[in-house]
Amino acid sequence: MRDLTTGNEGKLIFQFAAPMLLGNIFQQLFSVIDAIVVGNFIGKQALAAVGASFPIIFMMVSLIIGLVMGTTVVIAQYFGAKDFVKVKRAIDTMYIYSAIAGVITTVAGLLLAEPMLRLLGLPEEIMPSAVLYLRIYFAGIIIFFGYNGTSAVLRGLGDSKTPLYFLIIATVANIILVLLFVGVFKWGIAGAAYATLLANGIAFALAIFWLNKTHKLIRIAIRGLHFDREIFRQSIRIGLPTGIQQTFVAMGNLALMGIVNTFGTNVIAGYSVASRLDSLAMIPAMSFSQALSTFVGQNIGANKVSRIKKGLRSTMKMSGAITIATSIIIVIWGHVIMSLFTKDAEVIRIGDQYLTIVSIFYLLFTIMFIYAGVMRGAGDTLIPMFFSLISLWLIRIPLAYFLSKHMGVQGIWWAIPAGWFIGLSLAFMYYKTGRWKKKAVVKFDENM
């Protein structure tokens, strides 16, 4: 556990963000390594099938991810206020509703996998593989909720190192298992899904064992968990807008995938690989944003609001520098990176085209996400939700559809940074109003 309410703001945020940065890189390596193995051992149809599945998975888990993020903010603020009884109750509450949500999501995913893929207009040659992958993944989704919920709780307590250790274990296990199941046993796309679930299960089991033996506040056991309605209500107030935002973002990704699907298997495969690299490149922004949220939450809980602006400036500098370097690397070596996933020249060309257009605007995404991190840490998630929906559904999706009719597939790529620009403009203007400070769970005196 780390107290972020005293000491140099930039140094604290960097030290807290660095393990999360590494952890998020390892988490993205899950899907990247799966894509490399699938693309090289099975082929571009399987690569396209896995890529088409991820927007659906994201949509199905987005709401619970948002609620967990809300509980993390509650935990951070109570921890900053040194109210450890409520910290423990918040943790218990999160585990209870995550377990219930996991069962519901599994049933829904198994039933709706094929209908959702058909609704997206997925090419018929890809359909059987995509349905199989989705159903296996959803069968074990409760493991994903448990593992990621535990990591989120630890970050709310100021511990970003322990989740990293378990994530490294999970990633190494995934590399070994996917090579074994797909490369040696020849289980095809099912092997990639089984490897991911089993790797998450190994990491979650180790996390339960270690935390129950060593941690003061976290005890993961079926007996003794206490559901707190008031804390759940607070988590919903803070997390539901984020969950709804994530769900609509996922639906937007599905809509975008539907537009991409009309251009055929090569474009689907190229977009699937490039969007994974996109996610990898955005990790610095998301990691520093997560760190800043916890920093803001603890300092609001401790009634030290003056530290937030300093923390924001430091975060902008650190994450901005990394983002610019990442953009340069991708623009120069995007073609080479794409060739690691497939040897199909057309798929490589399409993916490289996407990366070249989108990566030069990563800085817009980074700044937008950092401002959102401040608001989330303060407990203000409703207004940023509307900003996200406006930039996605009023700008990106309509523009992608319109430009794809006139510019071809390039039009879809150009619509993505256009949405970021609008989202950043709205987030900046709202941040300057200062209204986000009034949404804290723990009330404070702004004059202090």
Write the DSSP assignment of 59-112 as a string of letters: HHHHHHHHHHHHHHHHHHHHHHTT-HHHHHHHHHHHHHHHHHHHHHHHHHHHHH
DSSP percent split of the chain into helix, strand, coil, nearest 5: 85, 0, 15
Mean pLDDT of 251-279: 90
Range of the domain at 128: 9-439
Q: Is the pLDDT of residue 439 over 80?
A: no
Q: Report the pLDDT averaged over residues 200-221.
A: 79
pLDDT reported for residue 445: 53
Asked if residue 146 is part of any domain, the answer here is: yes
Q: Report which of 102, 150, 133, 272 is spatially closest to residue 195, judged by C-alpha positions.
A: 133
State the sign of the Cα–Cα–Cα–Cα dihedral 375, 293, 54, 418.
positive
Give the pair of three-digit tokens for residue 43. 């082929």
Q: Which pLDDT score, from 0 to 100, does residue 1 have?
A: 56
Which of 274, 265, 280 is closest to 338 using CA atoms? 274
pLDDT of 180: 95
pLDDT at 448 (0 to 100): 40
1 lies in some domain: no
Mean pLDDT (whole number) for 65-82: 82
Determine whether 339 is exposed, middle or buried from the number of CB atoms within 10 Å of its CB (0-12, 13-18, 19+): middle
Mean pLDDT of 319-334: 94
Total structural domains within the chain: 1
pLDDT greater than 80 at residue 261: yes
- Sorted by sequence, the CB contacts under 8 Å of residue 392 that are 6+ apart come out as 248, 249, 252, 419, 423
- Summarize pLDDT for 280-317 with one digit per residue, the tens: 888 899 899 988 988 888 888 788 888 988 999 999 99
**Is pLDDT at 375 greater than 50 in this prediction?**
yes
Specify the pLDDT at position 306: 82
Decide if 3 is inside a domain: no
Between residues 173 and 25, the one the model is more confident about: 173
- 298/304 Cα distance (integer angstroms): 9
Give yes or no for residue 355 having a pLDDT over 70: yes
CB 283 within 8 A of CB 26: no
Distance, first Cα to last Cα, the chain: 26
Higher pLDDT, 231 or 161: 231
Q: Of 247, 285, 265, 277, which Cα lies nearest the Cα of 369?
A: 285
Asked if residue 2 belongs to a domain, the reply is: no
Q: Is residue 448 in a domain?
A: no
The 10s digit of each residue's pLDDT in 129-177 is 999 999 999 999 999 888 888 888 887 777 778 888 888 888 899 999 9
Residue type, 240: L
Residue 101, pLDDT > 80, answer yes
What pLDDT, on the 0 to 100 scale, is given for residue 440?
A: 61
Nearest of 224, 57, 230 to residue 137 by alpha carbon? 57
Question: In this structure, how many other beta carbons lie within 10 angstroms of the beta carbon of residue 251?
Answer: 18
pLDDT for residue 418: 96
What mean pLDDT value characterizes the chain?
87
Share of the chain above pLDDT 90, in %: 45
Q: What is the mean pLDDT of residues 13-32?
A: 82
Position with higher pLDDT, 18 vs 77:
18
4 in a structural domain = no
Hey, how many other C-beta atoms are within 10 angstroms of the C-beta on 253? 21
Range with the lowest mean pLDDT among 57-61, 336-340, 411-415? 57-61
DSSP H stretches of helix in 379-442: 382-389, 397-407, 409-433
397 domain-assigned = yes
What are the two backbone dihedrals, phi and then psi, of residue 8, each rounded to the nearest 5 degrees? Answer: -65, 125
Which value, to the nearest 10 degrees, does the dihedral of the CA atoms of residues 202, 96, 211, 230 take? 150
Alpha carbon 343 to its chain's center: 29
Residue with tokens 């996200």: 388
Task: Give the amino acid at 223.
Answer: R
Confidence of residue 212 (pLDDT cuts 50, 70, 90): confident
Which of 322-331, 354-363, 380-389 is the least confident region? 380-389
Q: At 196, phi and psi to the nearest 5?
A: -65, -45
The CA dihedral of 243, 246, 248, 254, to the nearest 10 degrees, is -140
